[in-house]
Amino acid sequence: MSGLNLSKGWVAAILTVAIFSTNTPIARTVIKDGMHPLTLSGYRFMFAGVIFAGIYFLSPLVTPKNGEAELDKRIIWICLVSGGINGITLSAYYGALSFMDAGLTSVLGIALFPTITLLILAAYGEALNMRKIIRLSLVMIGLYFLLGFSGALEIRGVGLVVIAATTYATHVVSVQWYLKPYNIWGTTSIMMMGAAIVVFVLWSIAGMPAYVPGVRGWLVVAYQVVLLTLIGRYLTYFAINEIGSGQMALFTPVETVLTVIWSMLFLSERLVGEQWIGAGLILVSALLAADFKKRQSPIVT
């Protein structure tokens, strides 16, 4: 891999962190103003789904190049299912914001996501080494401090974060195992169309609430469609391909720290003393996930 591509990968990773760190507090603002979580995810993926469908069916961006493999029916179905799982992730995560502060939701998510990912990989034969065991131990202790000393967490919110973390871990593992040899625009477009289908079904089951809190609500929807979905998703998968998922893991705690900072500055949210201890232990655990050598993710064919 050339140094130029590696540099592009790092730039993509940094931009991804900066963009996604704003997601939770921004979503929390409109949900607090009465916007249903499924309305937010519904509008986001309805518009994003149309854009990605246009990219997939009309744009040359999806044409395989530089040795990329052609998409076959099996991979298309994998993309649709993986994207649908990710649609559940976003819907559950936004639902959690109805019950919990943005900072707490983000920290809880970062605790659960890597833990569940490790357990999935272990179930499929990847060994749990000492570093991973230490990480899991730190997460468990951190969760005790985070959840055990405050009434700020609500059981329904915690349950929704567990669902979000589990489905997102499944989504990421499937991308690493199955989709690496393929064109990023092609796989991302199909995954986002799959996510749009699932979110629309969930939105319909909820009765399709349509309330949007004024101009600010529509600006949040537009921001999420363009920056978080269209640009953010591409940057995420590009960075993983260029620098590896281990290096991307290094940025996860940075994203969470930024999310907590934005939540404190703009939403007046606070963590109590014991929760800071728990958050710190969880961030240390996430930092231990980083590997300073690029590792190739296993590819399932």
| Cα distance between residue 195 and residue 88, in whole Å | 8
Mean pLDDT of 144-168: 78
Q: What is the pLDDT of residue 47?
A: 96
Q: What is the pLDDT of residue 251?
A: 65
C-alpha dist (Å) from residue 74 to 78, 81, 173, 179: 6, 11, 17, 11
Higher pLDDT, 36 or 299: 36
Query: In sequence order, what are the residues at sequence separation of 6 or more whose Cβ sits closer than 8 angstroms to the Cβ of residue 48?
Result: 192, 196, 225, 229, 230
Q: What is the pLDDT of residue 255?
A: 74
What percent of the chain is predicted at pLDDT more than 90?
Answer: 42
What percent of the chain is predicted at pLDDT more than 70?
Answer: 83
Q: What is the pLDDT of residue 88?
A: 96
Query: In sequence order, what are the residues at sequence separation of 6 or more whose Cβ sits closer than 8 angstroms to the Cβ of residue 133?
Result: none
Mean pLDDT of 148-152: 52
Higher pLDDT, 109 or 151: 109
Asked if 253 contacts 287 with a C-beta cutoff of 8 angstroms, the reply is: yes
Confidence of residue 128 (pLDDT cuts 50, 70, 90): low
**Given a cut of 90, is residue 87 above it in pLDDT?**
yes
DSSP state of 71: P
Tokens at residue 274, please?
Answer: 């014991």
Confidence of residue 13 (pLDDT cuts 50, 70, 90): confident
| Cα distance between residue 179 and residue 237, in whole Å | 10
Handedness of CA 99, 25, 242, 83 (dihedral sign): positive
Q: What is the pLDDT of residue 296?
A: 45
Number of C-beta neighbours around residue 80 at 10 A: 17
One-letter identity of residue 231: I
Q: What is the pLDDT of residue 276?
A: 79
| Cα distance between residue 192 and residue 233, in whole Å | 9
Asked if 114 contacts 135 with a C-beta cutoff of 8 angstroms, the reply is: yes
Q: What is the pLDDT of residue 245?
A: 60
Burial class (CB in 10 A: 0-12, 13-18, 19+), 57: exposed
Q: What are residue 182's DSSP bridge partners?
A: 69
Mean pLDDT of 274-292: 70
Asked if 53 contacts 195 with a C-beta cutoff of 8 angstroms, the reply is: no
CA dihedral 11, 13, 19, 25 (to 10 degrees): -150
CA 29 to chain centre: 19
Higher pLDDT, 117 or 235: 235
